[in-house]
Each structure stands twice: as structure tokens, then as C-alpha cells.
Amino acid sequence: MARNFCITVSGTSNIDVWKEIRRELGPTDVDNPDMLTLFNEDLQEYTDWTSTHPGIPFDKWLIWRIRIGTVRYGNLPKNKIRDGKVGHCWAPCPYSTQSSDLRTRHLLGLSDSDPLPPKVDHTIGDTTYFMGTAFQGRWGYECTYIGCVHYILNGKKYFFT
């Protein structure tokens, strides 16, 4: 499904505006009576923010709130990308339980009949370790987890180009 970056809002009341935006950005079942609680929460956050920062239309604020993840319109949240993650979160190590079996087979060049290697969770406490960009004579991706099965068995970090 393609992501819509241009949302045209035609509603005049806050509930109409809310429904139009939520239908586009989710949750989409806005006519469900249970969704009224979410509307009230969004409206209360908007009211709280605009009490000290007036002049922001509800539709602009709500789109910001949903897409950026903060009620502070115009202010980016703290860097959530690095909170609890090391490396690139879209690049799990093939020896990690965070990697699908299909991804593991692809990265390791295994056929459907080849046995999968043992996998371990690449998480310590609240931090999950993924592969990070690294240079080893050429640029590629290196596992950042010190307890990786590949590292323990081979004495060197898994590296993929």
C-alpha cells in the first residue's frame, strides 16, 4: 500500500477532520463507537498543546502527531532511532532470532533444503543489536552483537557485502 503524503481535509468540525485523517493514517475503523475514546485523547492532547502554542489548526497538528509521534507540533522528538538499538534496525544479523528464516537463507546463500544455523536473540537488556555499516577492505554490514553465534564460533564478526 502506497503511503499518502498529501492529505486534503474537507471537514469543518474537529470530529470530521479527525475521521478523515485517521481513515488515511490509521486506525481506519473510525466509525466504530470504541474509537471515540481515541478521538477524545487526540483532542485533549491538541487542546493542551495549543493552550501554550496557539494558532495551529487541528488537522495540521493531528497529521504531525500521527506521522512524527509527538504532540509538540514543529518540534521533532528525541532521536528514537538510537534508543534501544545498535546498528540499522532494518538489517538483522542472519544468526539473530530477529532475522526471518528466508532472510537468513538469503544472506548465507542457503538453499531451501540446507539446515538453518543456530540463532540467538541479539538483545541485551533493552538494547537490540543489528548489523551496522562497516569497512573491511570494502563497505558492507557487520553484526554488532558480541554474543552472536557466528562471532563465538569463528572469532570474527559476521560481515555481509
Angle, in degrees to the nearest 10, between helices 58-68 and 36-52: 110
Q: Does a structural domain hold residue 8?
A: no
20-51 pLDDT, tens digit per residue, is 988 888 777 888 888 888 899 999 999 998 99
Do residue 111 and residue 141 come from a single domain? Answer: yes
Phi-psi region of 83 (alpha: psi -120 to 50; beta: other; left: phi over 0): beta
Same domain, 90 and 141: yes
Report if residue 29 sits inside a domain: yes
Q: What is the pLDDT of residue 148?
A: 94
- The residue ranking higher by pLDDT, 23 or 89, is 23
List phi, psi (to 5°) of 20: -60, -45
Is residue 132 within 8 Å of 87, Cβ to Cβ?
yes
The 10s digit of each residue's pLDDT in 97-138 is 999 999 999 999 999 999 999 999 999 988 889 998 888 888
pTM (predicted TM-score): 0.49
Query: Within this chain, do residues 91 and 144 fall inside the same structural domain, yes or no?
Result: yes
Same domain, 27 and 91: no
Domain count, the chain: 2
Residue 145 belongs to some domain of the structure: yes
| 3 is a domain residue | no
Compute the distance between CA of residue 126 and CA of residue 83 in angstroms, rounded to an integer.
9
Structural domain boundaries enclosing 64 = 14-68
